[in-house]
Amino acid sequence: MSKNNLLVELFVEELPPKALRKLGDAFASQLVSSLVANGLVEADTAFEPFASPRRLAVRVSAVAEKAADRAQNLKLMPTAVGLDADGQPTAALLKRLQGMGLDASVAAQLTKQMDGKAEALFLQRTLPGVTLAEGLQTALDEAIAKLPIPKVMSYQLHTNCALPGWSSVNFVRPAHRLLALHGDKTVNVSALGLTAGNETVGHRFEAQAPVITIDRADDYEQQLTNIGAVIPSFAKRRAAIEAQLADVAKLLETPETGPLVAIHDDALLDEVTALVERPNVVACQFEPAFLEVPQECLILTMKANQKYFPLLTQRGKLSNHFLVVSNISPSDVSQVVGGNERVVRPRLADAQFFFNQDRKKTLSSRLPELDKVVYHNQLGSQGERTQRVRALAIQIAQALVANGRGDAQLVAAAEQAAALAKTDLLTDMVGEFPELQGIMGGYYARHDGLDDSIAVAIEDHYRPRFAGDALPRNDVALVVALADKLETLIGMFGIGNLPTGDRDPFALRRHALGVVRMLIEQDLPLSLQSMIADGAKAFGTLITHDLAPLETFIQDRLAGLLKDQGFDARAIDAVLALSPQRLSDVVHRLEAVRSFTALPESDALAAANKRISNILKKANPSDIAATVSPALFVEPAESALADAITAVKPVAETQLGSGDYTAALKALAALRDPVDAFFDGVMVNADEQQIRANRLALLSELHGIMNRVADLSRLAT
C-alpha cells in the first residue's frame, strides 16, 4: 500500500488573532487523530500544523491511500435472546441483522462465545479499509466540527446547480478555498461548500502570483514562502519576529541608553504573529517628554491599543523607542515609520492628559465618591466595602503586632492604606486602563506626599494577581492584601455566591490561593479562623450563610499547592485533618511527617493510631473515664504504656512549644514497643466497666499525644 505525505489547507478570511494559535493546533491534531482512528496513518506519525491570518493547514507524514482491512468480532446479543429453544434465530436477531444490512443466512455463521458469565452471539467478519478520500472526508468534518471557535459566523454560499441559490454556512470566518494533496494528487473531498483542489493564495500585497498552484504536499511551505510571501508556520513566524525584535533593538543601542530589549510578552507576541503573514520589524520613536508619564501607562497603551513592542533599558526603564511588526516590506520604510509614530502620539497624549488631570485631586478627597460606586447589589457600595477592608486590616495588623511582628506604626499605616486602596478606581487613567488599578494608586499616593510604605501597599494590595505572581513587598501591603482578599471571600461565601466547576466570576479560587501563599511564604503568625471571624463581624447582618465551607475551600487550595510542591498526598491529608489554624506551620508539620515516616517505628505507630482512632470512635464519650487511674491497672502492659506516656509527653510538649515538630514526632518512636505490648496483652473492652473506662482513657491520652502534629492514622497503609 503506497504512502505519501498529505497536505490539507482551509483558506479563509482573516481569523481572530487571539484564537489563531489554538485553532491551528486543534485543526491539525484533530484531523490527524481521525486519520489514525481510520487506520490511514500510524499513531506516532509526524505532522506539522500551519496557521497564518488567512489559513489553517496541516502536513501529515506517511499517509496510506487505503487503510488495511481489519477483522471484527462484533457482539450482537446474548445467546438466550438471539436463538430459540431449537437453536433457530429469533425475531430480535433477524431484526438486528437486517439493521446491519445482512440477511438471515448470516445467522448460521455466528459464533458462540462467553461474555462474562453469560454466552453471547458474535459476528466475525472482515471490514474493508477506508480509502483516503473517505477517511479524509470524515477527518475534515470532525476537525471542523470540533474547532474551539470563539464565535461562529453565518454566511451565505452561492450554489451552482440547476436552480442557482444560496446556502447558509457556519464557520469562524468565510472560507474561500480547500486544498488537499496526497503527494502530487488531489484528494476528492469537500468542506464548507468547497471542493478540494491544489491551489491557494499568498500575501495580499506581496505575492508574486495571485493564485499559487501547489505541486506536491512537500512543496507547500517552500512555495508559499518564495512565491506567496507567507511564512505559513505559526511557530516559525513567531521565531522570526523574536529574532527581528532582538536584531533591530540592538541597532538602537546608544551610550546613553545602553543595550535595549523589547518587552517580553508572550500573549502580545502570539497576537502579533497571528496578525502578519510575513513579518518585517521596524523601529519608531516618540517624544521624550512623554516619559514623564508613568511607564506602565505608556507601555500598556502601546501594547493594548497598537500592538507595539516598547523598548526597555537593561534596568527595565522605558525608552522613547518602540518596535512595530509590519505585514509589508517596502524598500522605503519611512512611510510605515511615520504613520505609526503619528498614530501613537495621540494615545500617549491621552495618557499624559489623564495623568495630569488625576493629580489635581488627592486620593483622600475621592473617598466620598466610593459610596456612589456599586460593588455588589447584596454587599453594598465600594465605600462600604472599603470600610470592611479597613476594619479587617486593623485586626490583622494588631494580631501581627501582638505576635511580635511590627509595631503601632504598622497598624496606622495599614489602616490608611486600606482606606485609600480603592480610590484610584475613580481616576481617569484607571477608567481608561483598568489593568492599572493599584499601580496608579501608588503613583498618586507618592504625589500626595504619603509615606512610601503606604504607596507600595496601595500598589501591591492586588498581589498575587495570578499563579506565580510576586507577593506584596512589605508588611503594610501584606496586611491590606490579606484584608482585601478575605473580604471578597467572606462576602461571597456569606451570601452563598460560591464558585462552580466552570464559573468563578469573582476569582475566589485565585483569592484563596493568594491568602494561602501570603500566610505560608511570609510565615505570618495569624489564625485563619480568627481572620474569618473578624471579617464576618464587619459585614454585620449581610452574612446569611454559614462560613464553614470557606475554611474548607481555602484548605483545598492549600492542599493543591502543597501537592504541586511535591509533598506526599497522605502526609498532606494527615496534617490538614487537624485543621491547623496557622497555615504558616503546615509546611513545617509536613517536613516533620516526612522525617517521621522515615523512622522504622512509623508504620507500626501509624497502624496502632488507626486502631486507637477506630476504638475511640465506637466508644460512647460517657464510657471514657475523665482521668487515668493507675490503681485500676490489671495488666503489666497497662502500667508500661502509662509510664511510657508519662516519659514521652513532657518531651513532646516541650518540642511542640518551641515549634520543633520533627523532634516532637521522633519522640513518639519510644512508644512503639509499649503500644505493641498493650494491644498484644490487654483486652480494651473488659467486662468490668471501670477497667474498660480506664483503658479507654489511657488510649484517649495516647491518641492526644500522638496526633498533635498530624493525624497519624491517615498515614497507615
Which residue's entry shows cell 482585601? Answer: 484
Contact between residue 108 and residue 16 where contact means Cβ atoms under 8 Å apart: no
Give buried/exposed letters for 255-287 (b at 16+ CB in 10 A, else e): eebeebbbbeeeebbbbbbbbbbbbbbbbbebe
Gap between the Cα atoms of 113 and 90, Å rounded: 18
What value, to the nearest 5°, has the Cα angle with vertex 111 and ends 105 and 117? Answer: 140
* Contacting residues for 236 by C-beta, under 8 A, at least 6 apart: none
Query: Can you read off the three cell numbers belonging to residue 373?
Result: 460606586
How many CB atoms neighbour CB 544 within 10 A?
10
Which residue's entry shows cell 468480532? Answer: 73
Identity at 541, one-letter amino acid code: T
> Which has the closest alpha carbon to 308: 349, 278, 336?
336
Gap between the Cα atoms of 590 and 710, Å rounded: 8
Gap between the Cα atoms of 447 and 426, Å rounded: 16
Query: Can you read off the three cell numbers belonging to residue 531?
Result: 481572620
Gap between the Cα atoms of 451 and 448, Å rounded: 9
> Which has the closest alpha carbon to 351: 303, 294, 287?
294
Gap between the Cα atoms of 638 and 632, Å rounded: 9
Helix pair 602-618, 689-706: axis angle to 10 deg: 130
What value, to the nearest 5°, has the Cα angle with vertex 119 and ends 114 and 121? Answer: 95
Gap between the Cα atoms of 386 and 391, Å rounded: 9
Residue 279 CA from chain centroid, whole number: 31
Query: Can you read off the three cell numbers belonging to residue 573?
Result: 491529608
Number of residues that this document lists for the chain: 717
> Which has the closest alpha carbon to 704: 633, 632, 656, 636?
656
Query: Can you read off the three cell numbers belonging to residue 556?
Result: 483545598
Quick one: pLDDT at residue 164? 57
690: phi then psi, degrees, rounded to nearest 5: -65, -40
Distances (CA, A) of 235 to 49, 239, 247, 269, 513: 9, 6, 18, 11, 33
Gap between the Cα atoms of 496 and 490, Å rounded: 10
- The alpha carbon torsion through 73, 77, 80, 84 (nearest 10 deg) reads -90
Gap between the Cα atoms of 351 and 359, Å rounded: 13
Query: Can you read off the three cell numbers belonging to residue 207?
Result: 505575492
- The alpha carbon torsion through 342, 346, 348, 353 (nearest 10 deg) reads 160
- Checking 687-691 for CB contacts under 8 A at 24+ apart, the result is 689/623, 690/625, 690/632, 691/632, 691/634
pTM (2 d.p.): 0.79
Helices (H) and strands (E) in the chain, counts: 25, 20
Gap between the Cα atoms of 702 and 680, Å rounded: 16
> Which has the closest alpha carbon to 431: 493, 491, 355?
355
Element (H, E) at 235: helix 234-251
Gap between the Cα atoms of 174 and 154, Å rounded: 8
Beta bridge partners of 195: 190
Contact between residue 632 and residue 690 where contact means Cβ atoms under 8 Å apart: yes
Contact between residue 612 and residue 618 where contact means Cβ atoms under 8 Å apart: no
Gap between the Cα atoms of 311 and 260, Å rounded: 6
| Ranges in the chain, pLDDT < 70 | 1, 158-166
- The 3-state DSSP class for residue 236 equals helix
Strand runs (DSSP E) across 478-562, as ranges? none
Element (H, E) at 312: strand 309-313
Contact between residue 43 and residue 102 where contact means Cβ atoms under 8 Å apart: no
> Which has the closest alpha carbon to 263: 231, 211, 298?
298
> Which has the closest alpha carbon to 704: 576, 583, 571, 609?
609
Contact between residue 255 and residue 215 where contact means Cβ atoms under 8 Å apart: no
Quick one: pLDDT at residue 162? 46
Gap between the Cα atoms of 8 and 430, Å rounded: 46
> Which has the closest alpha carbon to 350: 311, 302, 317, 318?
302
Query: Can you read off the three cell numbers belonging to residue 605?
Result: 505507630
Give buried/exposed letters for 464-480 (b at 16+ CB in 10 A, else e): beeeeeeebeebbbbbb
> Which has the closest alpha carbon to 486: 469, 505, 508?
508
Element (H, E) at 607: helix 602-618
Gap between the Cα atoms of 360 and 356, Å rounded: 7
> Which has the closest alpha carbon to 143: 274, 62, 25?
25
Gap between the Cα atoms of 158 and 699, Å rounded: 84
Which residue's entry shows cell 464587619? Answer: 538
Query: Can you read off the three cell numbers belonging to residue 283?
Result: 523601529
Gap between the Cα atoms of 527 and 519, Å rounded: 9
Quick one: pLDDT at residue 163? 47
> Which has the closest alpha carbon to 574: 586, 564, 565, 583?
586
β-strands 175-182, 165-171: how paired?
Answer: unpaired
